[in-house]
Structures are given as structure tokens and as C-alpha cells.
């Protein structure tokens, strides 16, 4: 697996659109992108989580990226490539994934963020991606109601990790309580200092706003976690 470290991209808005699936509407991006995802067997290059494609969602909510390009666009001419799940991609695209995004229109418009920065050095970002994807899938389950113990556990984990955003103020002197401003400053680091960013944000992690990713969660629940849960239930029944 490729290293997964927090970072920023040169063209955050373009990378954000790519992450939300805009590449599927451009043939010069769609064809090589889907070929790369199929070659990877729908497995994230960073955390190893797998998905699967369908007629309606051929990419399985995986994103083909060229990390060497400021906008991340993967094309047939790319010499660098990776396949990223939504959360591993977001962790490397902080100047998009902690920025407020306006959704809806008119009186129904609202500003949401894809995720937040948290202080959680006890787990790696890769491990948090696993937990986040599972919590997202649990929250998206359409059976068994939303008041069962599994849903309660997922909500508790989500709330506990969100609360550690406040720990950043105490643990990171240069953090002033605004994710977007902090990440903007990080993105402006000269290249010769950017490689030392792990010394600045070594304990910082990214955690998703689960409600922002509900559509992806419903798909991952059906494509990945439902099968795993059924396999586990069958094994438990035989033991």
C-alpha cells in the first residue's frame, strides 16, 4: 500500500470535483480512470479497503488520481497513478476537505464541510479511514432501525472523535480553532519546508462529516460491509 499522509493539493477545487465524481462525465478521464480502478480490483491504494462496481456506479466510489498533478486528474498519459477511497483521498486534499461547501440553492442552501481536523495520535490516518468507512456504512444501513447497539456504538465513536477537534487548540500552538485557515497556511509552506510537515501536524488526523458522505455510505454498505457482516454471522452461527 502507498503511504497515507495528510496533505494539500495545488488545485483544491478541481481535485474536490474529481473526488465527487466529475471525472465520470469527461470521456478522456472516464475511460482510463475506470480501467485503472478495474485493474486495482476496486481496492484503495492507501488503506486497502475494497468496493465493487455496478451498472449505476461503475467506479464503486473509488477515485483514480495522478498525485503528481496539481488537479489530480488521471489521464491515459499519466505516469503516476493511484486509486483512492473517499476518505484516503480527502485526507490528502485537506484544502478541499475541510473547506465549507455550499450545497442546495436559494433558501435551501447551506454550508457544509466534508470533514474536520482532529487530534488523535493513537491511530494512523489509514486506521481511521477503516473506522470511518465502517461507521459510515453502519449509519447508512436501512434495516434494523437506527436505535440498535451497533448504531449507538457508531454514533458514540463519531461523537468522541469529533470532540477531539478541540484538543488541537491545546496540543498544537499554531492552530487557532479554524481548520480552513490552518490548512491554507499549511498549503503555503515553501516546498523546502513542506517535507517537514509531519513535524508540524504529526498528531493531526482528518475525520469525515458522515452526513456529507451519506450517498457513498449507502453504496459501501451494500457493496462491501453487508457481505462481510453476512459472512461473520454465518461463521458465528456455525461455531
Q: What is the pLDDT of residues 123-137, one digit of tens each?
A: 999 999 999 998 998
Separation of alpha carbons 88 and 126, rounded Å: 7
pLDDT classification of 172: cutoffs 50, 70, 90: confident
Average pLDDT of 48-76?
94
The pLDDT of residue 63 is 97
Q: What is the pLDDT of residue 110?
A: 81
Which residues are CB-contacts of 182 (< 8 A; sequence separation ≥ 6)? Answer: 117, 174, 175, 176
Which of these ranges, 18-32, 153-167, 192-206, has the smallest mean pLDDT?
A: 192-206
Compute the average pLDDT of residues 38-57.
Answer: 95
* Closest listed residue to residue 223, CA positions, set 92, 37, 79, 29: 37
Pick from 47-56, 72-81, 222-231: least confident? 222-231
Higher pLDDT, 101 or 81: 81
Residue 108 pLDDT exceeds 90: no
Q: Which pLDDT band holds residue 146 (cuts at 50, 70, 90)?
A: low
Q: What are phi and psi of 123, to 5 degrees?
A: -130, 150
Q: Could you tell me which residues come within 8 angstroms of residue 3 by beta carbon, excluding any fewer than 6 positions away?
A: 46
Amino acid at each position: 500500500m502507498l503511504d497515507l499522509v495528510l496533505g494539500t493539493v495545488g488545485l483544491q477545487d478541481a481535485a474536490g470535483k474529481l473526488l465527487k465524481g466529475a471525472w465520470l462525465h469527461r470521456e478522456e478521464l472516464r475511460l482510463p480512470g475506470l480501467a485503472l480502478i478495474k485493474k486495482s480490483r476496486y481496492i484503495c491504494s492507501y488503506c486497502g479497503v475494497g468496493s465493487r462496481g455496478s451498472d449505476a456506479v461503475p467506479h464503486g466510489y473509488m477515485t483514480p488520481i495522478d498525485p503528481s498533478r496539481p488537479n489530480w486528474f488521471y489521464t491515459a498519459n499519466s505516469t503516476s497513478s493511484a486509486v483512492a477511497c473517499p476518505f484516503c483521498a480527502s485526507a490528502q486534499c485537506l484544502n478541499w476537505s475541510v473547506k465549507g461547501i455550499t450545497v442546495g440553492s436559494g433558501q435551501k442552501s447551506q454550508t457544509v464541510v466534508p470533514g474536520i481536523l482532529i487530534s488523535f495520535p493513537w491511530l494512523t490516518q489509514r486506521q481511521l479511514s477503516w473506522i470511518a468507512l465502517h461507521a459510515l456504512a453502519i449509519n447508512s444501513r436501512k434495516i434494523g432501525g437506527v436505535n440498535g447497539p451497533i448504531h449507538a456504538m457508531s454514533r458514540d465513536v463519531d461523537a468522541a472523535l469529533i470532540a477531539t477537534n478541540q484538543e488541537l487548540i491545546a496540543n498544537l500552538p499554531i492552530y487557532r480553532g479554524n481548520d480552513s485557515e490552518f490548512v491554507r497556511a499549511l498549503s503555503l509552506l515553501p516546498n523546502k519546508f513542506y517535507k517537514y510537515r509531519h513535524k508540524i501536524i504529526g498528531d493531526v488526523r482528518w475525520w469525515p462529516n458522515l452526513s456529507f458522505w451519506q450517498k457513498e455510505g449507502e453504496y459501501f454498505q451494500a457493496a462491501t460491509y453487508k457481505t462481510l457482516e453476512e459472512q461473520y454471522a454465518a461463521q458465528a452461527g456455525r461455531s
